[in-house]
Amino acid sequence: MHATLEKLQDRNEAYDRPSRKAAEEAVRTLIRWLGEDPGREGLVDTPARVVRAYAEWFDGYEQDPAALLQRTFEEVGGYDGIVVLSDIPFESCCEHHMAAIHGIVHVGYLPQHRVVGISKIARLVEAFARRLQVQERLTAQIADTIAEVLSPYGVGVVVKATHACLSTRGVRKHGVSMVTSRMLGAFRDDPAVRQEFLTAIT
């Protein structure tokens, strides 16, 4: 069995979670609702594949974002500037339409005592992105977790993303991207720090 799916099933006791069979049945219902025959050769295995794909796309629920930042380094060789990671790509899913969100995240922080490995910040982004989301909450969750766990002098997070629910349905506007940001501590209060961050990400 798929490893992620196994983990998902392990936490079934935590709440009234439908079985994998029930989830596959729901996909079959959607296929029938579209006017298709779920028994058709090309569609027979689709419900199982869709459920496996969902387990992967939403494996952010399996992760504890704060735990990802626990291993930090205190030795920074006297470095006292801001640390910026720009253009971290992510895929997420809008919780209103369950449609894809694609974008990039820029993260900056001004360490007080501790810095974290750069791959950990990228994994933090994934842990929150791979859930049902709205872009505003994704932005806030990334910033707030870094602020809480690392206690830096400040944090800045900017997210720029396109939403399939806007480009492929409704008003069908292509090429529109949405930008959200959250500035905390020195990134909010000190114009020089904020400017240094904004210059680094452009």
Which residues are part of the catalytic machinery? 94-97, 135, 163, 165
Is residue 88 classed as helix, strand or coil in its secondary structure?
strand
Interface residues for Zn ion in 137-196 (CB under 5 A)?
165
Residue 98 CB, nearest distance to Zn ion (Å)? 8
Distance between CA atoms of residues 84 and 150, nearest Å: 15
Is residue 2 classed as helix, strand or coil in its secondary structure?
coil
Nearer to Zn ion, 165 or 198 (CB): 165
Which residues lie closer than 8 Å to 19 by C-beta, 6 or more apart? 12
Distance between CA atoms of residues 129 and 1, nearest Å: 24
Which residues lie closer than 8 Å to 26 by C-beta, 6 or more apart? 18
Residue 94 CB, nearest distance to Zn ion (Å)? 3
Interface residues for Zn ion in 73-112 (CB under 5 A)?
94, 96-97
Nearer to Zn ion, 40 or 96 (CB): 96
Nearer to Zn ion, 85 or 165 (CB): 165
Residue 161 CB, nearest distance to Zn ion (Å)? 11
Nearer to Zn ion, 6 or 95 (CB): 95
Nearest residue to Zn ion by CB is 165
Distance between CA atoms of residues 160 and 164, nearest Å: 14
Instruction: Indicate the residue type of 95.
Output: E
Residue 55 CB, nearest distance to Zn ion (Å)? 21
CA atoms in the 13 A half-sphere facing the CB of 5: 13
Distance between CA atoms of residues 73 and 117, nearest Å: 8
Q: How many residues interact with Zn ion (rule CB under 5 A)?
A: 4
Q: Are strands 115-116 and 72-73 parallel, antiparallel or unpaired?
A: antiparallel
**Interface ranges with Zn ion (CB under 5 A):** 94, 96-97, 165
